[in-house]
Amino acid sequence: MNEETVATTESIHRSVMSLDDKYAKWDGRIYLSGIQALVRLPMMQRLRDQAMGLNTAGFVSGYRGSPLGTLDEALWKAQTHLTQHHVKFVPGVNEELAATAVWGTQTTALLGPAKYDGVFAMWYAKGPGVDRCADVFKHMNHAGTAQHGGVLLVAGDDHGAYSSTLPHQSDHVFSACMVPVLYPCNVQEYLDLGLHAWAMSRFSGCAIGFKALADTVESTASVDANPFRMRVPTDSIAP
């Protein structure tokens, strides 16, 4: 085998994509679904925090329901990657217990010395679960999120009642709870706006709502793998 053939073979090996790329690659482009983007999101936040000198951890809890019915399965499958990035997944017995657990992650600094500088958290459920958790969300927002924590509330909405007995959207409930809402329109925005949401949550002290429709969360796309693609302003004055 001549040198040119060896070089070509090595080049091919370097360019071969792995199924783990969606959770392990941090440059170039990767191919993933909206569900997988939500799994990748807390790992990206951990990397961003590390780059800022913060030792943070992630926490994910929720209750399955279409269009987020396979999110817990995807989180379980990615357990090795999540653990490597200090992200803990604990599925909720129901929506309210999951939301209360997420709220609790924002109070670690009140209990004395902590292992981490903060815990960023993600809650997920189908739209009716948002209805059930309105009281928790109101109190969570009133208490406020942690300086290096932040809360992302992912609502699986079903405007056309394709997999629900009634059509539902979470915007109005979030609004009643004084929760700002972001609405990603493609898989790339699941990553970009997800990171933006945690930045918003830390800045404002509010939990941030995140609408997920079947049209986007069940779609797949080639996206930018760079966790530092989304830039957060550093000269903003806190309210």
Task: For residue 151, report the phi and psi dihedrals to the nearest 5 degrees.
Answer: -130, 130
Mean pLDDT, to the nearest integer, of 115-131?
Answer: 96
Contact 134, 59 (CB under 8 A): no
Q: Which of 6-20, 114-128, 151-165 has the lowest mean pLDDT?
A: 6-20
Mean pLDDT across 10-33: 79
Q: pLDDT averaged over the chain?
A: 91
Predicted TM-score (pTM) of the model is: 0.90
